[in-house]
Structure 1
Amino acid sequence: MPIVTHLHGGRNTEESDGYTEAWYLPNALNLPAGYAAVGSFYEGFKGKFEDRFGDPWGRGDAVFQYANEERASTFWFHDHALGVTRLNVYAGLAGFYLLRGGPADLPAGVLPGPAPRPSDPPGRKYHEIPLVIQDRSFHLDGSLFYPAGRAAFDKFRGPYIPGSDISPIWNPEFFGNMMVTNGRTWPFLQVEPRRYRFRFLNGCNSRYLILKIVTHPLARRPAHAALPFWQIGSEGGFLPTPVQRDQLLIAPAERADVIVDFASAPVGAELYLINEGPDRAFQGGKSGTDFASADPATTGQVMKLAVGALTTPDTTVPPSQLSLPSFEPLGEASRVRQLSLSEQTSASLPHGGPRQMLLGTLDRNGAAVPMRWDDPVTENPIVGATEIWEVHNLTTDAHPIHIHEVQFQILNRQQAGHAVRPAEPWERGFKDTAVAYPRVVTRLKATFDRAGRYVWHCHMLEHEDNEMMRPYTVG
């Protein structure tokens, strides 16, 4: 399988970013004649890396250099190979990368801890826990199930390319029928009546999550929240100030660094982390009003929380009293770019279903100019430029837009004929992924201070793998 690793959230040189065409195959002896062993950008980045750092790349590998100069943040890493990211991530090629220390972190003891470490003895208690939530489906023998063709999405069984414009192997989205947390289906976590720090990551291929803590797993949706979340950070580190939330909307690839205080829960109480997001593509709106929540018996359940006795005093700072590290907004922008999100429907489907997803630009008349992966680069900031990217979503779905190499600020959103809406309180830190709602313009500001070739894309992996990704260059 092709593979190339992307440190999601990291600001690294281009040859260490996990560029999607810099993939490589294992150093195997059974590669068929005529097959490429590396992607078209592998050799060029290999030479740049060796010139820059001196470390050679061998056949079947790559060496990446991470300076770790970013703010203390919840990063993650995953495969980013062209056209197969959805399959490699689904198979398990993803993990947390937690960056600590520096002036943008807090001293030890202020926040709940400790967090897990590889050398810990068995049975150690943790009060900071990274939690990656994914939806999966399984065969009866426990092996992973992923649909082999388009029929799983809309029952279309051909003819496929070249007899139509439909690929036989691509599904527009994927939604599993079970929730998996840290690799375990519907796990159990023993907690004490104290504060915990949870670092949530939505690692689903296409599914949006709406997380909530409730007293009963099968409660009628939308359910009443038993405990609030105090969000203190997002993808780019700490927020300017803690934000209290009854529920967490988390798009694929987004992270939410939160504190949950179980002090008010009686010993013996059973609580449940549930999901009220839809079992289909998210289009905005509220659970129970604009869409049906996930199935309460399956995809609506995430994790059980059982409250035990307090073993040691909690000396951490209550979230309402936290003073988070200083936050400095980005400076004035020198350019505004207008970008588009489009969906191409199929002439071969009687219902006109989606054929592929495309990014692009707007022309002088405000019409979308959809582009494919291999079209010429249209986004090319100069080194050091601060720009505003206006993302015009012309589709009916909400797309999580991820820009490599930068941490940006969400400025605002605007629907035609409506007033400008500022970023949500929990979105006012630095981010690397933003929800672009349907029929809405989402404005992002970023500083592009590192020369190189990078990418921006939708992080619904089935969209990313079928053309909803574009290269961009800095400098």
Structure 2
Amino acid sequence: MPIVTHLHGGHNTQESDGYPEAWYLPRASDIPDGYARVGSFYEQFKMIFEDRFHAAWEPGTAVFQYANQERAATSWFHDHALGITRLNVYAGLAGFYLLRGGPADLPSGVLPGPAPKFGDPPGRHYYEIPVAIQDRSFSTDGSLFYPTSRASFDHFTGPYIPGSDISPIWNPEFFGNTMVANGRTWPTLSVEPRRYRLRFLNGCNARFLILKIVTDPMAPRPAAPVLPFWQIGSEGGFLPAPVQRDQLLTAPAERADVIVDFTSMPVGTNLYLINEGPDEPFKGGKAGTDFQPAAPGTTGQVMKFTVARPLAAPDRTIPPAQLTLPPFEPLGPASHTRQVSLQEQNSAVLRGVGPRMVMLGTVDRHGNRTPMGWSDPITENPALGATEIWEIHNSTKDAHPIHIHEVQFQVVDRQTAGHSTRPPEPGESGFKDTVIAYPHAITRVKATFDRVGQYVWHCHMLEHEDNEMMRPYRVGPR
């Protein structure tokens, strides 16, 4: 299987970013003659790396250099091979990458800890826990199930290519029927009556999550939360100040660094982390009003918290309402505004069939949109060191999580079709690398492009990314 690793949230040189066409096959003896063993950018980036670091890439490998000079943050890594990211990530090629230390971190003891680390003895109690949430489906033998036919999505059984322009294997989105946290279906976490730091990652292929903590997982939705989340960080590290939230909306690839205070919960209490996001593409709005929440008995539950034991030691961490987070320095003024678009493409030869592909593109000064595919010429070419505002015009009916490689950006605002603007959501006040672009709206983000090279930007619904909703962009001269 082709693979190439992307450190999502990293600020790295182009040859270490996991460019989709820099994939490679393992050094295996059973690769048939005539198969390409590397992608079209592998050799170019191999030469750049070896010249820069005087270290070789052996056949069937790639070596990436991470300087780790970003703000302390919750990042993650995953496969990014062109056209099969949805399959490789679904199969398990993803994990956390937690960066600590530096002036944008907090001293030990201020926040709940410790976190799990390699070599820990069995039975150690953890108070900082990364939680990767994914939806999966399984065959009756326990193996992962992923649909092999478009018919699983909308019951369309053909004609497929070459009898039409519809791919037989691409599903516009995937929604599993179970919820998985850190590789386990509906797990239970034993906690003490104290504060915990939970680092949530929405690692789903396409599912948006709306997370709450409740006492009854089967209660009518929307349910009343019993404990709030105190959000202290997003993708780019700590927020300017803690934000109390009753629920967390997270799109695929977004992260939320939160504190949950179980102090008031008696030993023996059972609580549940539930999901009220829809079992279909998210379009915005409120659960129970604008869409049907996830099924309470399956995808509406994520995990269980059991207050199973008294305090093992006094909790000396600072209550989240009293926390002073590290200084936050916003980006300076932008020198250029760039307009880009999100669009769906339907079949040109068949009627009544869902989307054939989803695409990115440009918007001209008259508002005309030009959709573009992966192989079209580069249109986004920021100057090295430039700070730009990207206006993301979403003309589709769904919300899309848009990820721009190499940078951490700030959300400026959103503008609806009625021309009213609204500021970033409370959890978007810090730096981010993924933003929700709502349907029929303009989402504005601001970023500084300070590394020369070729990177990508794309929708992080992996089925969209794999079928043309990804574009290369270039920083500096071409």
Partner of 1:443: 444
**How big is each residue's C-alpha offset from its partner over 1:393-447, in whole Å with a ceiling of 9 and x where there is no partner?**
0000000000000000000000122321011111010000000000010000000
Cα distance in structure 2, aligned partners of 1:401 and 1:88: 20
Partner of 1:365: 366
User: Which residue number corresponds to residue 145 of structure 2?
Assistant: 145
In the TM superposition, residue 325 of structure 1 has moved relative to its aligned partner by: 0.3
Partner of 1:160, secondary structure, is: coil
Indicate the SS of the match to 1:21: helix
Contact 1:341 1:359 (8 Å CA) reproduced: yes
The aligned residue for residue 317 of structure 1 is 318
Counterparts of 1:146-161 in structure 2 under 5 Å? Answer: 146-161=146-161
Once the two structures are TM-superposed, the CA of residue 312 in structure 1 deviates from its matched residue by: 1.1
Aligned to 2:102: 102
| Contact 1:229–1:259, Cα closer than 8 Å, also in 2 | yes
CA positional deviation for 1:364: 3.0
Aligned residue number for residue 387 of structure 2: 386
What is the match of residue 88 of structure 1?
A: 88
In structure 2, distance between residues paired with 1:195 and 1:19? 39
Show the 5 A alignment for 1:341-420. 341-420=342-421
Match of 2:241 in 1: 241
Q: What residue number does 2:125 align with?
A: 125
Aligned: 1:44 with 2:7: no
CA distance in 2, matches of 1:252, 1:55: 35
What is the rounded CA distance, in whole Å, between the counterparts of 1:159 and 1:29 in structure 2?
A: 37
| CA distance in 1: counterparts of 2:3 and 2:22, whole angstroms | 9
- Structure 2: distance between partners of 1:110 and 1:377: 46
Q: Does residue 470 of structure 2 align to residue 469 of structure 1?
A: yes
Deviations 1:67-121 (CA, angstroms, capped at 9, x unpaired)? 0000000000000000000000000000000000000000000000000001100
One-letter amino acid of the structure 1 residue matched with residue 27 of structure 2: N
Moved more, 441-450 or 357-366: 357-366
Instruction: Give the CA deviation at 1:348.
Output: 4.7
- 8 Å contact 1:166–1:348 — kept in the other structure? no
Q: How many positions carry a matched residue from both structures?
A: 475
CA distance in 2, matches of 1:188, 1:110: 26
Please tell me the residue identity of whatever aligns with 2:13.
T
Return the offset for 1:350.
3.8
Cα distance between partner residues in 1 of 2:313 and 2:349: 64
- Residues 329-363 of structure 1, C-alpha deviation per residue, up to 9 Å, x if partnerless? 00011100000000001245442410000000012
Letter in 2 for 1:271: L
Q: Distance in 2 between matches of 1:324 and 1:340?
A: 35
Secondary structure of the structure 2 residue equivalent to 1:69: coil
Give 3-state SS (helix, strand or coil) of 2:15's partner.
helix
Is the contact made by 1:8 and 1:75 (CA closer than 8 Å) also made in structure 2? yes
Q: Kindly provide the CA deviation profile for residues 201-250 of structure 1, in whole angstroms up to 9, marking residues without a partner as x.
A: 00000000000000011011000001000000000000000000000000
Correspondence 1:456 to 2:449: no
- Conserved? CA contact 1:24–1:61, under 8 Å: yes
Most deviating of 306-315 and 434-443:
306-315
Question: What secondary structure sits across from 1:386 in the alignment?
Answer: strand
What CA deviation, in whole Å up to 9, does each residue of 1:229-276 have, x standing for no partner?
A: 000000000000000000000000000000000011111110000000
Residues 302-329 of structure 1: CA deviation (Å, up to 9, x unaligned): 0011012222110000000000000000
| Cα separation, 2, equivalents of 1:117 and 1:274 | 27
* Residue identity opposite 2:10 in structure 1: G
SS in 2 for 1:354: coil
Name 1:256's counterpart in structure 2: 256
Which string of whole-angstrom CA distances, capped at 9 and with x for unpartnered residues, describes residues 41-66 of structure 1? 00000000000001100100000000
Query: What letter corresponds to residue 457 of structure 2 in structure 1?
Result: W
Find the counterpart in structure 2 of residue 434 from structure 1. Answer: 435
What is the letter of the counterpart of residue 448 of structure 2? T
Q: Which residue of 1 aligns with 2:59?
A: 59
Q: Spell out the pairing of 1:276-355 with structure 2 (5 A cutoff).
A: 276-308=276-308, 309-355=310-356
Q: Quick one: which amino acid aligns to residue 105 of structure 2?
A: D
Structure 1 Cα separation of the partners of residues 329 and 371 of structure 2: 35
Task: Show structure 2 runs of 5+ residues with no match.
Answer: none
In 2, distance between residues paired with 1:55 and 1:116?
32
Q: Distance in 1 between matches of 2:385 and 2:349?
A: 46
How far does residue 371 in structure 1 lie from its aligned partner after superposition? 0.2
Q: Which residue of 1 aligns with 2:165?
A: 165
Deviations 1:11-65 (A, max 9, x none): 0000000000000001011111111000000000000000000110010000000
Q: Secondary structure at the match of 1:414?
A: strand
Conservation of the 8 A alpha-carbon contact between 1:340 and 1:359: yes
* Distance in 1 separating the partners of 2:421 and 2:139: 47
Q: Which amino acid aligns with 2:175?
A: F
The answer to whether the 8 Å contact 1:345/1:354 transfers is yes
The two structures, once aligned, show a CA RMSD in angstroms of 0.7
Distance 1:473 1:380 in 2: 5
Measure the CA separation in 2 of the matches of 1:360 and 1:160.
26
Deviates more, 1:351-360 or 1:459-468: 351-360
Aligned counterparts of 1:417 and 1:249: Cα–Cα separation in 2: 24
Question: SS of the residue aligned with 2:356?
Answer: strand
Deviates more, 1:357-366 or 1:116-125: 357-366
Matched to 1:312, the amino acid is: A
Unaligned ranges ≥5, structure 1: none
Partner in structure 2 of residue 177 of structure 1: 177
Identity %: 75
**Equivalent position amino acid for 1:8 in 2:** H
* TM-score normalised per structure 1: 0.99
Aligned equivalents of 2:388, 2:297: Cα separation in 1? 45
Q: Which runs of 4+ in 1 moved over 6 A?
A: none
SS of equivalent residue, structure 2 residue 21: coil
2:156–2:353 contact (8 Å) kept in structure 1: no
Partner of residue 21, structure 2: 21
